[in-house]
Structure 1
Amino acid sequence: MKQQKVAWASSIALVCGWSFAIDIHAQETDLPRMDIVGRGVNARSKIPGTVDVINQKQLEILQPLSLQDALKTIPGVNIRGDEGGLGSIPNIGIRGLNPSRSQKVLLLEDGAPIHPSLFISNASYYSPPVDRMSGIEVLKGASGLQYGPSNIGGVVNYLTKTPEQGLKLSAKAGNYGYQLAQIEAGAKSDLNGAIAGINIIKSESNGYQDNGYKMYDILFKGGISINQDQWLSLKYTHYDNNINTSYVGLRPNQYINKISSNPAPNDYFVTQRNAVDINHAWEIDADTKLNTLLYWSKLGRDYWRQSISARNADQTVFNACNGTANCMFGRNREFQMLGVDSRISHEYSAMGIKNALEFGVRLHTESQTNQMVASTSFAKSGRVTGHEENKANSSAIFAQNRFLLTKDFALIPGLRIESYNQTRNNILTEKNGSAKNVETIPQLGATWQVIPELQLYSSVYKGFAPAQLATAINEKGVDQQLDPERSTNIEFGLRGANSGFTYDAAIFSMNFSNQIVNQSLAAGITKANGGKSLHQGMELALGYVLGAGWSVNGNLTYIPVAKFVGSSSIGADGNRIPYTPDLTSNLGVNYQKNGFNSLVSLNYLSQQFPDSANTVKSNSIGTLGEIPSVTTVNWSTNYSINKSLKVFGVVNNIFNKRYISSRSPDGIFAGAPLNFQAGMSYQYF
Structure 2
Amino acid sequence: MAYGLRQWRWAIKHGCPVVTGSRMPPLRRAVLPFALLTALVPLSSYAQTTAADPSDESGSTQQNTQATQPKATRLPAVNVRAEDWRKFLKAKLVYQMPEVDGTKITVTKKTTVTHLDNQPTVIGNNLNQTLARTPGVLVSEQPTPTQFNFSYRGIGNPQESEFVLVMQDGIPLEGDWIGFPTLYAFPMTQSLSEVQLIRGGSSLLYGPEPAPVINLVSKRPAPGTPLTVTTENVVGEHGLFSSYNVIERNQGAWAFRADAGYVHSDGTRANDGSQNRQVDLYLGYHPDEHQLWWIDFHAISDVSGDPGRLSYTQWQQDPRTATTPYNRDWVNRDQLVLGHTHQFDNNWSLEAKLWFTYEDLVNRAARAQLPGQPLPSTTTLQDEAFRTYGADVRLRKSWGQGNAFTVGTVLFHGNDPFRQWSSTDLTVARDDHSGTPVLNQNRTSQYASLFAENVFRLPYRIHIVPSVRLEHEQISVDETVKPPFLSRPLVNETDRRNVPLFGLGIGNDFGQGNETYFNVSQGWRPLRYFDIASPFSNLIPGHAAALSKSVSWEAGVHGVPVTGLYYDVSVFWINFKNRLETQYINVIDTIEVNTGDTRSRGLEGQLDYDFFARTPFAAQGQHLEAFINASLLNARFTGSDIPGQVGKTPAFSPDSLIKTGVTWRNARVKLSLTAVSSSAQYWQDSDESYGSGETYMPARIPAYTVVDLASDWQLTRSVKLLAGISNLGNRHYFDRVWQNGLEPAFGRTWYTGVSLTM
Normalising by structure 2, report the TM-score: 0.79
320, 323, 338: which one aligns with 2:375: 320
Distance in 2, Cα, partners of 1:46 & 1:127 = 25
Distance in 2, Cα, partners of 1:492 & 1:101 = 29
State the match for 2:416 in structure 1. 368
Distance in 1, Cα, partners of 2:88 & 2:514 = 19
Aligned pair in 2 of structure 1 residues 606, 618: CA closer, same or farther (>3 Å)?
A: farther
Distance in 2, Cα, partners of 1:16 & 1:615 = 40
Distance in 1, Cα, partners of 2:542 & 2:413 = 20
Aligned pair in 2 of structure 1 residues 8, 110: CA closer, same or farther (>3 Å)?
A: farther
State the match for 2:211 in structure 1. 153
Shift of the alpha carbon at 1:68?
5.5
Give CA deviations for 1:310-330 in whole Å, capped at 9, x if unaligned.
7xxxx4887635xxx5x1102
Give CA deviations for 1:380-439 in whole Å, capped at 9, x if unaligned.
332221100100111100001111122611110010100111110002265311000000
- Tell me whether 1:245 sits opposite 2:300 in the alignment: no
Aligned pair in 2 of structure 1 residues 518, 386: CA closer, same or farther (>3 Å)?
A: closer
Shift of the alpha carbon at 1:12?
2.4
Shift of the alpha carbon at 1:564?
0.8
Q: Partner of 1:530: helix, strand, or coil?
A: strand
Q: Which moved more, 1:403-412 or 1:579-588?
A: 403-412
Q: Which moved more, 1:359-368 or 1:156-165?
A: 156-165
| Contact map agreement 1:387 1:427 (CA 8 A) in 2 | yes
- Tell me whether 1:496 sits opposite 2:589 in the alignment: no
- Tell me whether 1:174 sits opposite 2:236 in the alignment: yes
- Tell me whether 1:222 sits opposite 2:291 in the alignment: no
Distance in 1, Cα, partners of 2:373 & 2:594 = 33
Shift of the alpha carbon at 1:480?
3.3
Distance in 2, Cα, partners of 1:328 & 1:450 = 64
- Tell me whether 1:418 sits opposite 2:497 in the alignment: no
Distance in 1, Cα, partners of 2:389 & 2:455 = 31
State the match for 1:60 in structure 2. 120
Distance in 2, Cα, partners of 1:282 & 1:101 = 36
Q: Which amino acid aligns with 2:293?
A: L
Shift of the alpha carbon at 1:618?
6.7
- Tell me whether 1:89 sits opposite 2:133 in the alignment: no
Shift of the alpha carbon at 1:518?
7.9
Q: Higher strand fraction: Structure 1 or Structure 2?
A: 1
State the match for 1:33 in structure 2. none
Q: Which amino acid aligns with 2:217?
A: L
- Tell me whether 1:185 sits opposite 2:220 in the alignment: no
Distance in 1, Cα, partners of 2:682 & 2:351 = 44
Give CA deviations for 1:329-379 in whole Å, capped at 9, x if unaligned.
022100111011100000123xxx753100011111001110111110121
Shift of the alpha carbon at 1:271?
0.5
Aligned pair in 2 of structure 1 residues 318, 505: CA closer, same or farther (>3 Å)?
A: farther
State the match for 1:290 in structure 2. 350
Q: Which amino acid aligns with 2:683?
A: P
Q: Which amino acid aligns with 1:533?
A: T
State the match for 1:537 in structure 2. 602
Distance in 2, Cα, partners of 1:411 & 1:249 = 50
Distance in 2, Cα, partners of 1:651 & 1:527 = 45
State the match for 1:679 in structure 2. 753
State the match for 2:17 in structure 1. none
Q: Which moved more, 1:124-133 or 1:225-234?
A: 225-234
- Tell me whether 1:466 sits opposite 2:526 in the alignment: yes
Q: Which amino acid aligns with 2:553?
A: I
Aligned pair in 2 of structure 1 residues 589, 68: CA closer, same or farther (>3 Å)?
A: closer
| Contact map agreement 1:107 1:155 (CA 8 A) in 2 | yes
Distance in 2, Cα, partners of 1:604 & 1:282 = 45
Give the alignment of 1:402-551 within 5 angstroms. Answer: 402-406=455-459, 408-428=461-481, 431-475=491-535, 478=541, 480-497=543-560, 498-516=562-580, 529-547=594-612, 549-551=623-625
Shift of the alpha carbon at 1:283?
1.1
Shift of the alpha carbon at 1:603?
1.3
387, 390, 394: which one aligns with 2:447: 394
| Contact map agreement 1:473 1:479 (CA 8 A) in 2 | no
Shift of the alpha carbon at 1:142?
1.5
Aligned pair in 2 of structure 1 residues 188, 348: CA closer, same or farther (>3 Å)?
A: closer
Q: Which runs of 5+ in 1 are unaligned?
A: 1-6, 18-36
Distance in 1, Cα, partners of 2:751 & 2:659 = 21
Q: Partner of 1:335: helix, strand, or coil?
A: strand
Normalising by structure 1, report the TM-score: 0.87
Give CA deviations for 1:622-644 in whole Å, capped at 9, x if unaligned.
45521110011111121111222
Shift of the alpha carbon at 1:655?
1.2
Shift of the alpha carbon at 1:64?
6.6
Q: Which runs of 5+ in 2 are unaligned?
A: 1-85, 483-489, 618-622
Q: Which amino acid aligns with 2:709?
A: W
Aligned pair in 2 of structure 1 residues 306, 346: CA closer, same or farther (>3 Å)?
A: same
Q: Partner of 1:12: helix, strand, or coil?
A: helix
Aligned pair in 2 of structure 1 residues 46, 267: CA closer, same or farther (>3 Å)?
A: closer
Q: Which amino acid aligns with 1:540?
A: G
Q: Higher helix fraction: Structure 1 or Structure 2?
A: 2
Aligned pair in 2 of structure 1 residues 616, 250: CA closer, same or farther (>3 Å)?
A: closer
Q: Partner of 1:253: helix, strand, or coil?
A: helix
State the match for 1:31 in structure 2. none
Paired residues in the alignment total 639
Distance in 2, Cα, partners of 1:508 & 1:228 = 42
State the match for 1:109 in structure 2. 168
- Tell me whether 1:597 sits opposite 2:673 in the alignment: no
Distance in 1, Cα, partners of 2:418 & 2:593 = 21
State the match for 1:3 in structure 2. none
Distance in 2, Cα, partners of 1:234 & 1:665 = 42
Distance in 2, Cα, partners of 1:358 & 1:43 = 6
Shift of the alpha carbon at 1:259?
3.5
Q: Partner of 2:416: helix, strand, or coil?
A: strand
Shift of the alpha carbon at 1:169?
0.6
655, 659, 674: which one aligns with 1:586: 659
- Tell me whether 1:379 sits opposite 2:428 in the alignment: yes
Q: Which amino acid aligns with 2:579?
A: Q
State the match for 1:272 in structure 2. 332
| Contact map agreement 1:531 1:568 (CA 8 A) in 2 | yes
Distance in 2, Cα, partners of 1:645 & 1:9 = 35
| Contact map agreement 1:106 1:155 (CA 8 A) in 2 | yes
650, 655, 680: which one aligns with 1:607: 680
Shift of the alpha carbon at 1:13?
3.0
State the match for 1:630 in structure 2. 704
84, 91, 95: which one aligns with 1:12: 91
Shift of the alpha carbon at 1:177?
0.7
Aligned pair in 2 of structure 1 residues 143, 370: CA closer, same or farther (>3 Å)?
A: closer
Q: Partner of 1:538: helix, strand, or coil?
A: strand
Shift of the alpha carbon at 1:83?
4.5
Q: Which moved more, 1:53-62 or 1:167-176?
A: 53-62
Give CA deviations for 1:178-213 in whole Å, capped at 9, x if unaligned.
1111110123442xx111221000111011334110
State the match for 2:273 in structure 1. 212
State the match for 1:27 in structure 2. none
Aligned pair in 2 of structure 1 residues 569, 535: CA closer, same or farther (>3 Å)?
A: farther
Distance in 2, Cα, partners of 1:571 & 1:650 = 48
Q: Which amino acid aligns with 1:611?
A: Q
Give CA deviations for 1:29-81 in whole Å, capped at 9, x if unaligned.
xxxxxxxx459799999521211111131353565734464125411110112
| Contact map agreement 2:119 2:670 (CA 8 A) in 1 | no
State the match for 2:382 in structure 1. 331
Distance in 2, Cα, partners of 1:623 & 1:195 = 54
Q: Which amino acid aligns with 1:472?
A: I
| Contact map agreement 1:52 1:138 (CA 8 A) in 2 | yes
Aligned pair in 2 of structure 1 residues 110, 375: CA closer, same or farther (>3 Å)?
A: same
Aligned pair in 2 of structure 1 residues 454, 218: CA closer, same or farther (>3 Å)?
A: same
Percent identical pairs in the alignment equals: 18
Give CA deviations for 1:286-312 in whole Å, capped at 9, x if unaligned.
51101101011010000111124x7xx
195, 201, 220: which one aligns with 1:162: 220
